[in-house]
Chain A
């Protein structure tokens, strides 16, 4: 039922289905609707040929003096019969070939796929023509030929689906308990594969209808029945063009388009529903959002930080309204420091740093706040100026660098590209030398600059990514979970390398991670995020030893401490809030053991606690007479 509703929600699909229903009704009701019987033989005079549309003949007459409209209505039957019957044959053959090729091991499967590949390269219309010419052009033969040649796409599709279903647990289990192949195919594989064939079925039907009309137009139709292709063939070869008889040509053509378009629309809709495709990408225009200005609130005398994020708010277009992913986040990065940005997955860490560089994924937009970097606000900077700052001063190491490098360009050329972009004066040789040096620096031989990313291991690619980030000697490197996809030994190496280089080259770094051990080891200061807001901020020392936010405390308790190995690890129950179900008060209140009434109604602001410390929790609110601290000891055991 839900599937039906989804389908009806798809406007084009509904239109297509309606078009097909009309065609079906016409096919059934043709004898009732048609003003004349196109199969009856009637005496006609020369004047009856190609008569223009009139009240007696709404669509005029054809080359034989017969009513075009009546022939058109009856022609629907042939198109639909051929379309459905031929498609049925194709689907049965293709389905069987695909199932056997996918389910049965290598030998038979490979042989069948070779045969499929062979038929895939044979031009199908040419083959149809040859075979129909040999076996004779009856309706039955035409259906058989179109059906028997149109199975290749189905076979390929079914095979790949079967291959993937075959390895699933329930099939392996059935096989383990000794179920027969036929039983497994019928009870386990087919129910999984068949629904996926739906969109393909529709495609096969429309192709069969097109094939029939093409064959008929070429003169290979069944001469005893009226079909649209046949009508076009007769009109075209018997002077309709020179007679100017558009009414004999246009209606049958439009009828074919009607049915094929209807089927195609249904097919496209089914494909969209069953197999939704990517529709957004990184090069869409930045949404134009008026971002309200914020007043400069920096106290006089305090040095400006290198990067200052203030009251940043990021929204994503959701199905029912905007979803707030980052809500009023503020923090600063000072020159030469390593700042850790931690929190569970889905807390807005990555979104925050991407927003800071205006690299938000499509659908996301900054709706408030500022990102001050060296005197300019990145949020409001014209895009040309922003492009100049990117990479030359603010570089990034992306999460999962497996695909962060272009697979069809050499690693070296991708580094050279960055160098030359931001230093147009440098000559090619020098840029190449620098790229090789950078690769040496990260522990990849400079001679490998000419290789493609796929020849590198995961760890090597991440090193290359770091070399790329260093290419223009930036002031800030933002490393977004740079080691997620790597194994533990490599993770440590990469972090060591990054940390070492950043320190040696005097850069500042924001390290996004969910690993508290990494923060403790590598960072100077830490910002803890939860549910799109900053929960706590401070020096690593202070935050780790004296957490002020219950979330930080629980995070620390969930993390093994090498110095106190016997301590029990406690997981935080629950999960971070979904963006479409944000709690009204404090974001953490539903999971917080110390939450009280106020927490559920009112959002705590970020309380500044001095010495660079801050926490957004009513428990640290000393101005108001809050309830007594109920979390017990402030100090972490």
Chain B
């Protein structure tokens, strides 16, 4: 059984690594095969002299073949392999818009800010979504259930950015909450508590928006998975044993309900990322999403490429974590 689990772990790890490799390659070619030639955008400035263009072409390595050098010489002396080599050193190139800033530094800071936003929202949404979904399933058909279902439906139909705008409108006009950024710019703090309070006030609306959007989704998933589990034979056995409803839920339903939740949360990570992009845009939150959107506006392709790579790899890794949690929760996976 231990061997079975080990094999499961290795297989999942292998799949994640393969996916990352494909993402990296995909990310490279995405910016080269699509019409628009974004790779050359940085040197296509009409103000540059032909000599400078030639010099920059060599400097960015754009004179080399894209994938393999098949004209003699070292076949790996190509744009793709030098991209891989630089990537291995953590070098994602230099931003066009902020000429001197390395992309890795820009997206590193942005990633930290995004995690600050996404992690609390994700945790809150999971906890409340599961609790409400469980309650709705248990009291199926009651007003509570109908309310929960309607809430999920509306949340699903509400674009995240629009919910953000509504909350921002209400929060800024009537509650006096800050609407942009992570901290008040140029504020002088009386002490660390004061500073923390400022950060929390900034965090409130974006986190609330993201939490509400994710909550509807998780609640719906939890509800249907709990209804299914509550109609399983082993729940009837537990009831026949004389366990109370609370005991049955705690000892026989919760863990089983977690299984589909873990998978679905993992599958929904792309959804979380798109939520974060929208929330960061609305609340000018200096995270990866906003960086992506700004890079688009400035046609800053190295930053766009780096941010996209990081987003995609994060989702793959988070997926891996979910798979591992699943394997830990479900004794049956070693057989599969």
Q: Which residues of A contact B (CB under 8 A)?
A: 118, 120-127, 129-131, 133-136, 206, 210, 213-214, 217-220, 229, 232, 236, 241, 244, 246, 249-250, 253, 256-257, 260-261, 264-265, 268, 277-284, 357, 359, 362, 387-392, 395-396, 398, 400-409, 417-418, 421-422, 452, 454, 468
B240 touches A246 (CB 8 A): no
Residue of B nearest to A241 (CB): B169
B138 proximal to A (CB < 8 A): yes
Most buried by B among A213, A282, A392: A282
Q: Which residues of B contact A (CB under 8 A)?
A: 19, 22-23, 26, 30-31, 34-36, 38, 137-138, 140-141, 153-154, 156-162, 165-166, 168-169, 172-173, 179, 224, 227-228, 230-245, 247-249, 251-252, 255-256, 259, 267, 269-270, 273-274, 277-278, 281-282, 292-293, 296-297, 299, 301, 304-305, 307-308, 311-312, 315-316, 319, 329-332, 335
Write the nearest CB–CB distance from A571 to chain B, whole angstroms. 31
Neighbour of B19 across the interface among A118, A126, A260, CB < 8 A: A118
B239 touches A359 (CB 8 A): yes
Q: How would you classify the secondary structure of chain B's contact residues: helix, strand, loop or mixed?
A: helix
B249 touches A283 (CB 8 A): yes
A405 touches B138 (CB 8 A): no
A396 CA to B304 CA in the complex, in Å?
63
Given contacts A217-B159, A246-B169, A359-B239, contact A123 B22 (CB under 8 A): no
Closest 5 CB pairs of A and B: A281-B230, A125-B274, A390-B242, A123-B273, A253-B162
A284 CA to B160 CA in the complex, in Å?
35
Residues of B within 8 A of A454 (CB): 331-332, 335
Neighbour of B237 across the interface among A129, A257, A405, CB < 8 A: A405
A122 touches B315 (CB 8 A): yes
A362 CA to B137 CA in the complex, in Å?
13
Would you give 8 A-B contacts (Cβ < 8 Å), ordered by A? A122-B270, A126-B311, A131-B34, A206-B157, A253-B159, A256-B157, A398-B233, A418-B241
A421 touches B273 (CB 8 A): no
A392 CA to B243 CA in the complex, in Å?
11
Given contacts A121-B319, A130-B30, A407-B234, contact A283 B308 (CB under 8 A): no
Residues of A within 8 A of B141 (CB): 279
Neighbour of B228 across the interface among A118, A121, A229, A278, CB < 8 A: A278
Neighbour of B38 across the interface among A134, A389, A395, A417, CB < 8 A: A134
A264 touches B156 (CB 8 A): yes
A398 CA to B240 CA in the complex, in Å?
10
B304 touches A133 (CB 8 A): yes
Q: Knowing that A133-B299, A134-B34 touch, tell me 19 more A-B residue pairs with CB under 8 angstroms.
A: A123-B269, A125-B274, A129-B296, A130-B305, A134-B30, A214-B160, A217-B278, A219-B296, A220-B296, A229-B159, A257-B159, A260-B156, A277-B227, A282-B236, A391-B242, A396-B240, A404-B233, A406-B252, A408-B259
A277 CA to B228 CA in the complex, in Å?
9
Residue of A nearest to B319 (CB): A121
Neighbour of A214 across the interface among B138, B274, B319, CB < 8 A: B274
Residues of B within 8 A of A244 (CB): 173
Write the nearest CB–CB distance from A190 to chain B, whole angstroms. 27
Write the nearest CB–CB distance from A354 to chain B, whole angstroms. 9
Neighbour of B308 across the interface among A126, A281, A390, CB < 8 A: A126
Residues of B within 8 A of A409 (CB): 251-252
Given contacts A126-B274, A126-B292, A391-B241, contact A241 B172 (CB under 8 A): yes
